[in-house]
Amino acid sequence: MTELTMVTMHTEPGLDRNPRSRRMLTETCLEDYLIRIGRSCPVTLGHTLTGQPFVVEGSPFLSTACCRSHWVCAVGNRPVGVDLERLRPIDVDNLARHVFAPREQDLCRNSHREFFNIWTKKEAYSKMTGQGLLMPFLSFDTTQPNALGVEFYELPCATEYKAVLCRATARDQSGRAGQSGTMFFHSLDNTSISLLLD
């Protein structure tokens, strides 16, 4: 099977209030991914209890996030999770104390940007595991991606947003972590961009 993770970002006014458009975008991304890997059999989309789409047949893996008019979708042949957040004023230190591991708390002290960097990694990781926001965020530390068995990629987006992809680390036949992929960017149209990781 071709090793490929595809991430598509799209901007459209009112997207956060339009579940039909988000579903159509998700289906389009999934179809594009299947064409790229040469898979012709159809797949069925289901939804978790928290509303996240997934492929009923188990593969490929899928994750989406939407924040206002911005939407992102990740599709891959290993588990993926993606998150997108708008940077906004919050009580960083107080919130971090309740949801971040000690090392994460130290990194984001008095820094909104670093708080959202860690938060998006935590959400992306929890989506990758299939638990989403039901996962206790204090139970894992995103500063140790090797211990989690994942790779984190910061995604290009508008300056007032933060977007992160989390995907399971590739393993060779001996079970050791493999090399991370290369990113390729291409524009779909004036409102969308895709990146491919191999």
Rounded-to-integer distance, Cα 146 and Cα 126, Å: 15
Q: What pLDDT does 180 receive?
A: 52
The predicted model scores a pTM of: 0.88
Buried b (16+ CB within 10 A) or exposed e, 95-119: ebeeebbeebbebbeeeeebbbbbb
Q: What pLDDT does 37 receive?
A: 87
Confidence at 132, pLDDT banded by 50, 70, 90: confident
Cβ atoms 63, 124 nearer than 8 A:
yes
Condensed to tens digits (0 to 9), the pLDDT of residues 61-76 reads: 999 999 999 999 999 9
